[in-house]
Amino acid sequence: MVTRAAVLRAFGAPQTIEQVRLRPPGPGEALVRITAAGVCHSDVGQADGEWPLALPAVLGHEGAGVVEQVGPGVAVEAGARVLLSSAPGCGRCGHCLQGRPIRCQDSLAAMGEGRLTTGSSPIEQAGERISAYSLLACFAGHAVVAERSLIELPDDIEDEVGALIGCAVITGVGAAIESIAVPAGSRGAVIGAGGVGVNAVQGARARGAAGVLAVDPSAERLDWARLFGATEVLDPGDHGRLAALRAAAPREGLDWTIVTVGRAEAMTLGVELLRPGGTAAIVGLAPQGEPVEVDMLDLVTYERRIVGSAYGTLSPALLVPRILDLYRAGTLKLDELVGQRFELADINEAFDAARAARGLRTVLRTSP
């Protein structure tokens, strides 16, 4: 079929709205009409060339929509409302069988090659192959994806919210409740109070954290962090307060930190604010090859820990229902995450809004 898509043809260049062709869904695949897609910093970083990817490509990995057609062996029926997961896994390896598909090496290899876990990229134009970013390619009217990327979207959840659950919510909440299992009564900090960061804040509070410090240079985002449960806020430009926190860390440091921005200095800060025995979870993606300075003497003698946290650690098929339960119980705020809305034709303006950190999550309306 033919559909509209935002195509990235050169890193750092504007995306163009083009007519592309999708192959029919094969075994284990489904065709989804995309109704909403969030613009994540990872999309922005990829568009700017921070990581390698074969071009041209269709970006987008936070999506929701309606199944229109299924391939052989697919249990999901046409007409089902779904959110999309960029961690489908292969379904067979030890990581997948343990409920950790984000670690699946077959899946990561497919992602790096711009194709699906189930086969080649489904997108082409006049015989030219187009990469499907992050196993999905949501910045389009339609997408062909693996069935394992489909997660049922209940009727009480709006499409735009469902799209954001697929990355911002899973990643932030999951970092707090799964990757480091924030202890009840603990004190910690979330560095970066964007869409992922405020979800890490509310995930930590859901786990019973007594105090959460939100760190961000944006006054608007610090206000958002307060709304989502931060008990303190800090502008990293306040060098005096930051120096005092670093100096106090060996005796009065934080139990944990979650770093949601891909800046080396933020990651270093996440380690430096820890008490002895504390844990820093690194969520933000730094440009490939960028070094991060860590004082290894302090790391060892203070027995601090640094852990990577990708996509909430736990399988989205298991984590999403827990998130929805917390939302329905009033523990998590989700509707408030939706920021500026743009049509697919205005994708470059949407990326500009995301780069400028206006609001929490920019959302594209890709089709009716």
Residues 34 and 135 in one domain: yes
Maximum pairwise Cα distance, the chain: 64
Residues 354 and 290 in one domain: no
Residues 323 and 297 in one domain: no
Q: What average pLDDT score do residues 225-234 get? A: 98
Residues 30 and 101 in one domain: yes
Residues 148 and 242 in one domain: no
> pLDDT of 192-215, one tens digit each?
999 999 999 999 999 999 999 999
Average pLDDT, the chain: 96
Residues 219 and 291 in one domain: yes
Domain with residue 149: its CATH number is 3.90.180.10
Residues 205 and 101 in one domain: no
Residues 264 and 339 in one domain: no
pLDDT reading at 334 higher than 80: yes
Residue 175, domain member (yes or no): no
pLDDT category, 2, cuts 50, 70, 90? very high
Q: What pLDDT is recorded for position 10? A: 97
Residues 229 and 335 in one domain: no
pLDDT reading at 368 higher than 70: no
Of 262, 285, 308, the one marking the end of a domain is 308
Beta-bridge partner residues of 191: 215, 259
Residues 149 and 75 in one domain: yes
Residue 172, domain member (yes or no): no
Residue 64, domain member (yes or no): yes
pLDDT above 70 as % of the chain: 100
Of 268, 291, 308, the one marking the end of a domain is 308
pLDDT category, 116, cuts 50, 70, 90? very high
pLDDT reading at 251 higher than 80: yes
Strand pairing category for 338-343 and 361-365: parallel
pLDDT reading at 354 higher than 70: yes
Ordered DSSP codes for 59-128: ---EEEEEEEEE-TT--SPTT-EEEE-S----SSSHHHHTT-GGG-HHHHHHHHTTSBTTBS-SEEETTE
Range of the domain at 349: 2-167+314-365
Calculate ∠ Cα 13-266-108, nearest 5°.
60
Residues 103 and 225 in one domain: no
Q: What average pLDDT score do residues 326-339 get? A: 96
pLDDT reading at 217 higher than 70: yes
Residues 208 and 342 in one domain: no
Ordered DSSP codes for 213-263: EEE-S-HHHHHHHHHTT-SEEE-TT-HHHHHHHHHHHHHH-EEEEEE-S--
pLDDT reading at 175 higher than 90: yes
> pLDDT of 79-111, one tens digit each?
999 999 999 999 999 999 999 999 999 999 999
Per the structure, the count of domains in the chain is: 2
